[in-house]
Structure 1
Amino acid sequence: MAAEGQNHNHDALTNLTRFLHYLWPKDRPDLKKRLALALVMVVFSKIIVLLMPFAYKGIIDHMVPDTKSGLSVALALTLAYAGSRFGGVLFDNLRNAIFEAVGQNAAKALAIELFKHLHVLPLSFHLERRTGSLTRIIERGTKSIDSMLYYLIFNIGPTIIELIATCAIFVFSGWGWGMVGATLAMIIIYILFTRLITERRVALRRHWNEYDQQAGQYALDSLLNYETVKYFNAEALETERYSKVATKLSNATVKVETSLAFLNIGQSLITNLLMAGAMGFTVWGWRYNRFTAGDVVLINSLLLQLFRPLDFLGTVYRQVRQGLTDMAAVFQLIDTKAAIADHKNAPDLQIKKGTVQFQHVEFDYHSDRPILKDIDFTIPAGQSLAIVGSSGAGKSTIVRLLYRFYDVTGGRITIDGQDIRDITQHSLRQALGMVPQDIVLFNDTIGYNIRYGRPDASLKAVKQAARGASIADFIESLPQGYETTVGERGLKLSGGEKQRIAIARTLLKNPPILLFDEATSALDSQSETDIQATLNKIAEQRTTIIIAHRLSTITHADQIIVLDKGHIIERGNHQSLLKHNGLYAAMWQKQSLAKA
C-alpha cells in the first residue's frame, strides 16, 4: 500500500510538472510576465497582511487616556490599518485579474490539445468509450485544473509563507518557542484531521461523480432517442430508469454534505482551542507586564489570519486532489496512442485516374473472429462496384478499411497503385466522398452542414452543390434559407432532406472516389427513386463503391460482388449474376416478390 501511495504521489507530481509548460508557454512572453507579476502580488499581499496586526496592536497600545500624542499615533495607525486592509484586498484582486489570463490560457491549451488528439484516435477507441464520458473528462479536466492551480499558487503557497513568518514573529516578539511548538502541533492535528475526513469525502465524492455521470448519460441517451421512446410508449420505463440513478445521486449528495458539516465542526474546534490557549497565555503575560493589551490583539489577529486559509483546507485538499485526478485522466487520454499513424515523411496520395484495388485483403477485429477473407477486386477509374450480402457479411468493413479507420491484417489496398498505408491519412480521406446510411448533421445551419464538405467554399458554390443534390428549391423556400438550423442530429428535417444535404456536402467536396453505404435504405420508395437518380448522376465519371441492401438500386453497376461470411462468393454484373442463379439471383427474386 505504501509503495502504491508513493507511485500515486510520483505520478501526481509528474503530471503537475508536465502541466507547468502550459503555464509557462515558450511562445507567450506576455503570459510569463503576467505569472511573474501575479507572484509578486502574492508576496506584497502577504507582507501587508502580516503588517496589519502590528498596526492593530499599535492602535490599542496608544489608546492611553489624556495623551494627545497617543491619540495622534492611534489615529495614524488606524489609517494605516484601514489602508493595509484595503491594500490586501487590492493586491489579491489585482493578482487574480493578472493571473486569470494565464490560468485560462493553460486550461484552454490543454483542452484544445486533448480535443485534437481525440480526433486522431482510432474508430475502435470511440466505439468502446461513451461520448458523454469523454466530454465530462474534458469539462472537468479544464475546470478543476484551473481551480487547482488557483489553490496551489494562491492558497497553499502563501499559507506556508505566512506560517513561517508567524512562527518567526512569535519567537522574536517574546512568545517563545513554546508558542511556535503549540501552533505547529495544532496545525499538524488540523491537517491530519482534515485529510482523514477529506479522504472519506473524496470516496463519497467519487460515488457522487459516478452517479452524476450516469444521470447525465441516461438523460442524454433518452433525449437523443426521443422518437424511439415515443414509438415504444416507454416514457414510464425511461422515467423509472432515470429515477433509480437520480435517487442514488440524491443519497450520495446527502452523505457528501453531511460529511462537510462534520469537517467544519472539527476544524472549528481545533482552531478555537488554539486561539483560546494563545489568548489565555497572552492575558496571563499581560497580568505580569510581559505583554501589552495590544499583544492580545496581535496574537489573535495573527492566528485568525493564519487559520482563515486553513478553514478551506478541506476544500483545497479535495480540489487539488480532484484536479490531479482529472489532470491524470486528461494526460492518460493524450498519451493514448493512435493505432493508425502515418509513416514518417509519408507522401500525399497522388490521384491520377482513381483506380481502387483490394489485393487479397484479410481483416479481423479479433484474431479468433476473421471478418474478411481473401477479398480481391479492382475498380477501374470511373467505374462502379456494388457490394451486397447479408448483415454481418463484411460490407461496411470494406468502407472502413478504405478510409483506413483500421489497417488490413493481410494483403493490401491501393489507389492508383499507391498502398494507402504508405500515404498520409489526410490526403487519402480528402480523395474520398461518403454518403452514409445514417446521416448525422451538426446542430447548425443548412449552409454550415453543406459547407462542411469544403469549409472555405463560397455561398455560390454551396448553392451550386445544393442544386446538384436537388435540394436548392426546398432550402430557398424556407424563411431563413441556408441559415435555417437543422436541430440536434438534423431532427428538424426529413430523412430525404437530410440525405440530399449529405449528397450536397459530398458534391461540394468533389472527390474523385465516391462511397455510398446503403444511402437510400431508410427512405420511402418515392424518395429512394428520386435520390437514386441524383446519386447516379453525381457518380458519373467517378470511381464509385456502393454498399446496397436494395438490389434495385445497383442494377446499373459495372460490377457487383456478393459477400457471404467474409468471402466473395459471386461476382459479375446484374444480368450475369441473374443467369448464374446463385445467391444474388435468390436475393433478387425474394426482393422482387416482396415488392410485388
Structure 2
Amino acid sequence: MTRTSIPETTPLLPTDAADPRPTTANRTFSRWQADRKDVHDDADGRFDVRQRRQSASSPRSLSCFQFSFLLLLVGDLCSLVLVCSLSLGLSTVVRLQWLLNTHHLAWRFWGLPVWATAVKSILCLLATRWPDARVMAWTVYLFCGVFVTLLAVNAFTLDALDQSPGEETQTLVDANVANSLPLIFTVLEVVNLNYLLDSVKTPVVQERDTLPQVDGEGTLDTETTPPRGISLVKFLSILKPYFWPHGLTNKLRALSTYVVLILSKLANLAAPLLMAAATNALVAKDVGRATSSIALFSALTLVSKLFKEMQSLIYLKVKQTAYIELATLTYGHVQSLSYDWHVQKKLGDVLRSMDRGVESANSVVSYVFLYLIPTLAESVVVIVIFAVHFELAGLSFVAFSSLVVYAYLTIKITLWRKKYREASMRHDNEYHDKATDALLNYETIKYFGNERHEVEEYSKVIEKYQRYSLSSQASLSVLNGSQAIVIQATVLVALTLAAPHVVSEDSGRKIDIGAFVAISVYLTNLFAPLFFLGGIYNMVINSVVDMKKLSELLSVEPDVVDSPDAVQLGVSKEDSEVGIDVSFCHVSFHYPSQSANTGLKDLSFTIPRGTTTALVGETGAGKTTISRLLFRFYECDSGKIMVNHKDIATVTQESLRQAIGIVPQDTVLFNDTILCNIKYGNLNATFDQVVEAAKAARIYDFIMKLPDQWNTKVGERGLKLSGGEKQRVAIARTLLKDPPFVILDEATSALDTVTEQEIQAALNRLKANRTMLVIAHRLSTICHAHQIIVMRDGGIVELGTHEGLLAQPGSIYGGMWNTSTKANDR
C-alpha cells in the first residue's frame, strides 16, 4: 500500500457546520492521528518507528523476524557442521570417500537441514506475526528438529551396518552423541526465540503509519488483515461441538468422519505409485501387470473420491447438530443477560454477532479443518515421499518452496482483487436499484417527460458496473496466470531434477520412468486442492473476526444473578387470593449510564397486600424505574426491596417475576397469532382459560369478528392492532398469568376517551383480589387508590389519599389535579 505524506494540521475529513461535534470518520481519523503522533514522538522516551528504518548497521534496524531467522539458521548450521565433523572425524578415508560419493547419506546431511530450516523459518514468521498461534508454531518447530534428528540417527545406523565388527558399536555410540545436537539446538532455538518475542515489542507500522480509508458513511475501509485478540483456547472452545459433539451417535459419526478422511487421503497418496508400476510394466511389455496396476490405480482413485463424499455425508449430521447446539447456546446466553445490557446494545449488532459467529464456525470447520489442513498434511507427506522414497532432497525442497510461493501469491492477489470485486458488487446493486426506482416511479417520469434522462442515468450506472466488472475479471486472470506460472515452473524444475536419474538409470535412487510419471502426478495433486486458497484465506480471516465477536458475546456476564443460596419466593393460596405486600426500604439507585446524583434517593414506602398504590410525578421522576427494580432488572445501589417479607436479592429471579404481572404503557406483541400472544402469560393454560381471560379483558368480541379469529396474525410488534386492542391483549395476558401483584404502567395514557373507559372496565376486573401499583398519567384514573405517592427528582415529596392530598394547602398533587381538571374542561 502506498503511503502519502499528509500534514497533521490538514483538515482531511469535513465536519458538519451545523453540528460542532466530530463525525464518526473524524473521530476515527483523530484517533489514528494521535496514535501516529505518539509512535513518532520519542521526546519523552517512547519508541520511534523511524528508528526501525535506519541503516542495517544499526542494531535496532534488525527486525525481530530477521534476528530470529539468523539465530535459527546459525543453530542449524552449527548442528550440521558438528554432526558432519564428528562423523568424518571418526571415519577412515574410505568412509570419507563413501560419504561424499554416495547419495545414501548426502541428502540426509545436506538436503534435510535445508528444507527443515525453511519450514522453521515459516513457523518463526507465523509465531512473530500471530502471537496467538505461537504454541502451535513452536510445537511444529520442535517436531522439525526431532524429525531431522531421527532421520540422521537412521543414517548413522545404516552406515554402522557397513562398518567392521570392531567399529560398528563405536559408530553407533558416536551417532547417538552426534545426532542429539540438532535436537538440542532446536530446543535452545525455541526457548531463545520465545524469550525474544516476549521481550521485544514489534510496532505495527502499517496500522500506525498508514492513513485509514474512510468511505462516505464514515466507516473504515481497510484491507483484510490477520485478526488479533481471540485466544486459541476460546477459538477451539467455540469449535468443540464440531469436533467432539454430544451424544454417542454423533461422537461415532465424528470419529467415522476422521477415519474416512484419512483413508481418502491414503488412497490418493498411493494411487500415483500404482501409476508408476503400470508405466514400468508397459516399458517392460508386461501387459498383465500393467493392466492390474491400472485397474488398481483407477480403483484407488475412485475409492478416494467415494470416501471424500462419504466423509461429507457422515459429517453432515454432526455439523447440523453442532450448529444447532452453538446457535442455541448463544441465544440462551443472550436471553440470560441483564436488562441493562439489552438496553445498551444495538439489536442489529447483536444479531450480526450471533448469526455471523455461528455461520463462521461452520465455515471454518468445513473449509479449514476438513479441507485445508488435510490438504496441507497430504502435501507434507508428498514432500516426505520425494525425500524418503525417491531420495531426492532437492525435489522435496523445490516442492516445499513452490507451495510457499504459490500460497503467498494466491493470498496477496486475492486480497488485491478484493477491492474490484466489492466495487463490482456495489455498482451491480446500484444499477439494479436505479432500474427498480425508475420503474416504480414510472408515472412521475411520464408526468415530466424525463424518459431520455432516466435512460442516460441508467446507462451511466451500468457503465460503471461493467468497468469494475471488467477489472474484477482481469484481476482473476492475473490470479489464474500467476498460479499457472508457479505450477508449471515447479513441474519444470522438478522433472528436470528427476530426468538425469531416469536417463542414467541410477540404481541407488528409486528413479525410473515410472517414478518420473508418479512425480508428475504427485505435483498435479499437490496444487489442485489449493486453487481456492486465496478465497479460503479471506473467508477464514473474516470468520475468525466474526468468531472473536461471538466469543466476546459469550464472555459477557449478566449483571444480575441469583445468589448461590437463593430460595423460591413462595406464593401461598392466601397470597393468590388477596395479593402480597411490597416494601421499599431506603432504596437508592441510578442507572449505570447516568451520574450518581440522579435516580432514586433513599426511597421508602410500603404497599400493603390487597391495596392499590399510585405513583404520580413528572417525566423522569423515577416512576418506571421503581417497576424495573421490582422485577430486579437492576440491583439497588443501597437499601433493599421486600416482597412478601423476603428480600428480592435472596430469592430466584424466576419465582420473583412469576409473582409480578405488568401492563406496560407501550404494549409490544410478538409477530404471532392473538392466541399465542395471550397464552404467553401462561404457556400451560388451556384454551378455555384463554377465552375466559379474553372475555374479562373485553377483547373476546373483537377477536370473534376477525376473519381468522384466534389465528389472526398481529404483525411485527402488534402493529396490525390499534393501541386499545393491544392494551386489552396485554390485560388478557396478565389475567391469564394471574399474579398476586400487578403493575399498571400508564396503561391508558395514550387512549381516547371511549377506549379508555373500556380499558378501565377491564382493569377493574384485573384489580380484584390483587396488590396493585399504578403508574398514572391521568389523575382521574387513580382517585380511588388507597394511597398516592407523589415523586420528584427521585424522591417522595407527598404521600396520602386523593382527598387527603387535595386538602393539603399548596400541595403539589393539588396543583397537578387542578391542571388536569382544566385540561379536561377545555
Superposed displacement of residue 586, structure 1? 1.8
Q: In 1, are the aligned partners of 2:273 and 2:518 still within 8 Å (CA)?
A: yes
Superposed displacement of residue 265, structure 1? 4.7
CA displacement, residues 322-376 of structure 1 (integer Å, 9 cap, x when unaligned):
3333232222212211111110020011234500111121111134342111221
Paired amino acid for 2:813: Y
Alignment of 1:6-85 (within 5 A): 6-7=131-132, 11-19=230-238, 21-23=240-242, 27-63=246-282, 69-70=286-287, 72-85=288-301
Paired with 2:645 and 2:247, the residues of 1 have a C-alpha distance of: 46
Q: Equivalent residue for 2:706?
A: 478
CA displacement, residues 72-114 of structure 1 (integer Å, 9 cap, x when unaligned):
4444444333322321221111111111222222232222122
Q: Equivalent residue for 2:567?
A: 347
Paired with 1:59 and 1:487, the residues of 2 have a C-alpha distance of: 70
Q: Does 1:327 align with 2:555?
A: no
Paired amino acid for 1:336: V
Q: In 1, are the aligned partners of 2:598 and 2:793 still within 8 Å (CA)?
A: no
CA displacement, residues 217-242 of structure 1 (integer Å, 9 cap, x when unaligned):
xxxxxxxxxxxxxxxxxxxxxxxxxx
3-state SS, counterpart of residue 599 of structure 2: strand
Q: Which runs of 4+ in 1 moved over 6 A?
A: 1-4, 198-202, 253-261
Paired with 1:283 and 1:58, the residues of 2 have a C-alpha distance of: 18
Which of 187, 196, 202 is the matching residue for 2:403? 187
Q: Equivalent residue for 1:306?
A: 526
Paired with 1:510 and 1:162, the residues of 2 have a C-alpha distance of: 66
3-state SS, counterpart of residue 359 of structure 1: strand
Paired with 1:192 and 1:549, the residues of 2 have a C-alpha distance of: 68
Q: Equivalent residue for 1:589?
A: 818
Paired amino acid for 2:821: S
Which of 401, 404, 418 is the matching residue for 2:629? 401
Q: In 2, are the aligned partners of 1:12 and 1:324 still within 8 Å (CA)?
A: no
Q: Equivalent residue for 1:379?
A: 607
Which of 273, 278, 289 is the matching residue for 2:494? 278
Paired amino acid for 1:86: L
3-state SS, counterpart of residue 275 of structure 1: helix
3-state SS, counterpart of residue 463 of structure 1: helix
Q: Equivalent residue for 1:242?
A: none
Q: Which has the larger radius of gyration?
A: 2
3-state SS, counterpart of residue 619 of structure 2: coil
Paired with 1:264 and 1:544, the residues of 2 have a C-alpha distance of: 74
Aligned residues: 553
Q: Equivalent residue for 2:739?
A: 511
Task: Report which stretch shifted further, 486-495 or 80-89.
Answer: 80-89
CA displacement, residues 258-315 of structure 1 (integer Å, 9 cap, x when unaligned):
8777655544432332123224444565555566554444222211211122222223
Paired with 2:565 and 2:820, the residues of 1 have a C-alpha distance of: 50
Paired with 2:474 and 2:664, the residues of 1 have a C-alpha distance of: 52
Alignment of 1:178-327 (within 5 A): 178-194=394-410, 196=412, 264-282=480-498, 286=502, 293-327=513-547
Superposed displacement of residue 120, structure 1? 1.6
Q: Does 1:88 align with 2:308?
A: no
Paired amino acid for 2:259: V
Q: Equivalent residue for 2:792?
A: 564
Q: Equivalent residue for 1:142?
A: 358
Q: In 1, are the aligned partners of 2:583 and 2:606 still within 8 Å (CA)?
A: yes
User: 5+ residue gaps in structure 1?
Assistant: 216-249
Q: Does 1:522 align with 2:738?
A: no
Paired with 1:188 and 1:583, the residues of 2 have a C-alpha distance of: 81
Q: Does 1:161 align with 2:368?
A: no
Q: Equivalent residue for 1:361?
A: 587
Paired amino acid for 1:176: L
Q: In 1, are the aligned partners of 2:584 and 2:603 still within 8 Å (CA)?
A: yes
Q: Equivalent residue for 1:226?
A: none
Alignment of 1:494-505 (within 5 A): 494-505=722-733
Alignment of 1:125-136 (within 5 A): 125-136=341-352
Superposed displacement of residue 200, structure 1? 7.0
Q: In 2, are the aligned partners of 1:24 and 1:31 still within 8 Å (CA)?
A: no
Superposed displacement of residue 404, structure 1? 0.5
Task: Report which stretch shifted further, 293-302 or 328-337.
Answer: 293-302
Paired with 2:240 and 2:798, the residues of 1 have a C-alpha distance of: 59
Task: Report which stretch shifted further, 346-355 or 179-188.
Answer: 346-355
Q: In 1, are the aligned partners of 2:333 and 2:554 still within 8 Å (CA)?
A: yes
3-state SS, counterpart of residue 595 of structure 1: helix
Relative distance call for 1:369 and 1:309 in structure 2 (3 A) is farther
Paired with 2:735 and 2:621, the residues of 1 have a C-alpha distance of: 29
User: 5+ residue gaps in structure 2?
Assistant: 1-63, 65-126, 136-229, 431-464
Q: Answer 1 or 2: higher relative contact order, Cα 8 Å, separation at least 6.
A: 1
Q: Does 1:549 align with 2:777?
A: yes
Q: Does 1:106 align with 2:231?
A: no
Q: In 2, are the aligned partners of 1:364 and 1:370 still within 8 Å (CA)?
A: yes
Q: In 1, are the aligned partners of 2:746 and 2:776 still within 8 Å (CA)?
A: yes
Task: Report which stretch shifted further, 570-579 or 54-63.
Answer: 54-63
Q: In 2, are the aligned partners of 1:15 and 1:327 still within 8 Å (CA)?
A: no
Task: Report which stretch shifted further, 283-292 or 391-400.
Answer: 283-292
Paired with 1:525 and 1:419, the residues of 2 have a C-alpha distance of: 40
Paired amino acid for 2:617: G
Relative distance call for 1:592 and 1:272 in structure 2 (3 A) is farther
Superposed displacement of residue 58, structure 1? 4.2
Q: Does 1:489 align with 2:705?
A: no
Relative distance call for 1:186 and 1:372 in structure 2 (3 A) is same
**Percent identity between the aligned chains?**
36
Q: Equivalent residue for 2:221?
A: none
Q: In 2, are the aligned partners of 1:61 and 1:294 still within 8 Å (CA)?
A: yes
Superposed displacement of residue 8, structure 1? 7.5
Q: In 1, are the aligned partners of 2:617 and 2:792 still within 8 Å (CA)?
A: yes
3-state SS, counterpart of residue 361 of structure 1: strand
TM-score of the superposed pair, with normalisation by structure 1: 0.85
Paired amino acid for 1:94: M
